[in-house]
Amino acid sequence: MMPYLGAIAALAVLVLLLYNSLVAKRNAVENAFATIDVYLKKRYDLIPGLVAVVKGYAQHESATLAKVAELRTRALAGGLTSEVRVGLDNELSAGLTRLLATAEAYPELKANEHFGQLQRALCEIEEQLAAARRAFNAGVTEYNTAIEVFPTNLLAGPLGFLRRTWLATPPAEQGPVNVGGLLGQ
């Protein structure tokens, strides 16, 4: 009798430990996703300032400026699916990269201190975003592995742990950067 109870208790403890590890991994993924959101929000906050500064010096870039402002408004409006949101953010990244590159053609803009600070702040946010995305993908890898290997795969299905997808770079961004194209040459 006792050995059977002991075995059942040991099994229960094992199941508990495995369940906890799955929960921890899932939460790590959610945490990384939330961190991405934090930095995206920081980026949205910087955009009005950037648009205002560039408008003063780079009259020919009004089309890019308008596009960036519009993308920001749509992203902040909310009510978007995750895929649409990610697509918007990728377009916004491309627009911002183009804007910052065009500063090369306007020496007065380049010399503007406020623009310099915004450039640095945006660069930092892009770096943090990249780090958060990498952390998210690493978390997803670990989580997906955990729900597929034995013995945790026995628990994952019944307990509702579903596979997550990675954040992929859109095909347009995967190629080498055409700096000439960005600078309108």
| Residues contributing to the site for another protein (CB under 8 A) | 28, 32, 35, 117, 119-121, 123-124, 127-128, 130-132, 134-135, 138-139, 141-142
- In the complex with another protein, the residue whose CB is nearer, 95 or 139, is 139
CB of 128 to another protein, least distance (A): 6
- In the complex with another protein, the residue whose CB is nearer, 104 or 127, is 127
Identity of residue 24: A
- In the complex with another protein, the residue whose CB is nearer, 108 or 127, is 127
CB of 134 to another protein, least distance (A): 5
- In the complex with another protein, the residue whose CB is nearer, 74 or 116, is 116
CB of 118 to another protein, least distance (A): 10
CB of 36 to another protein, least distance (A): 9
CB of 31 to another protein, least distance (A): 8
Backbone angles phi, psi at 32, to 5 degrees: -65, -40
- In the complex with another protein, the residue whose CB is nearer, 111 or 130, is 130
* Residue 121: closest CA among 47, 26, 29: 47
Q: Residue-wise over 131-145: b if at least 16 C-beta within 10 A, else e?
A: ebbebbbebbeebbe
Helix axes 2-57, 62-77, angle to 10 degrees: 150
Residues 6+ apart with CB under 8 A from 21: 146, 152
Q: Is the Cβ–Cβ distance between 34 and 174 less than 8 Å?
A: no
